[in-house]
A and B are shown apart, each in its own frame.
Chain A
């Protein structure tokens, strides 16, 4: 069974940093691209970014709203995905989900339960 479990969320002041983690199990993590997607309270879904797999040099893509502030990384030996968030703004307040990307169609098929990040003074 595919499982994705996010952690690391919490309350942080504007300008601060936070590192989210996503622990994966039930599939060969190293084969898959992985995404982060967020959802502000009461709002829709917003794609944050993607990391490709080793075969594609672990390259990354980011939404313009987080480019230069957020960094996605992964540790295949630990079946884990990370999101380093720096220079946080109040508008980054959201539930953050990790999502597995299929190897063929390159779309999200499984999502974690999310971890809540609140940016407030």
Chain B
């Protein structure tokens, strides 16, 4: 199975900050990498797919880059509604595998 490793596991940030989360795959997943956001008690919400493509309706402050085994999610200017947990996942190979998550907390 492909292991997905996210860093950091948590971070504290302020509204307006630029935030970057890293996701590393144990094998090449090409560009089949997605990011989801989850708020407490809520279902996951798709943010980015294909490494850098924004899900319809997702604000442009979210962006994704990378290829192969190393990927990043960047929030250019953190907003109050962005405090949540973010998970990367690869869908290049079965089984689909998720990173452990990154919790963004209010500083």
Contact = CB atoms under 8 A, between A and B. Distances in A.
Interface string A95-121: 001010010011111111110000000
B34 A107 contact: yes
A44 B34 contact: no
A63 interface: yes
A46 interface: yes
B95 A47 contact: yes
Contacts, number: 61
Nearest to B98: A45
Contacts of B46: 107-111
B65 interface: no
Interface residues of A, number: 24
Given A44-B87, A44-B101, A105-B50, A111 B95 contact: no
A45 B94 contact: no
B100 interface: yes
Contacts of B1: 64
Given A44-B87, A107-B91, A114 B98 contact: no
A91 interface: no
A97 B43 contact: yes
B44 A61 contact: no
Given A44-B87, A45-B89, A109-B55, A61 B98 contact: no
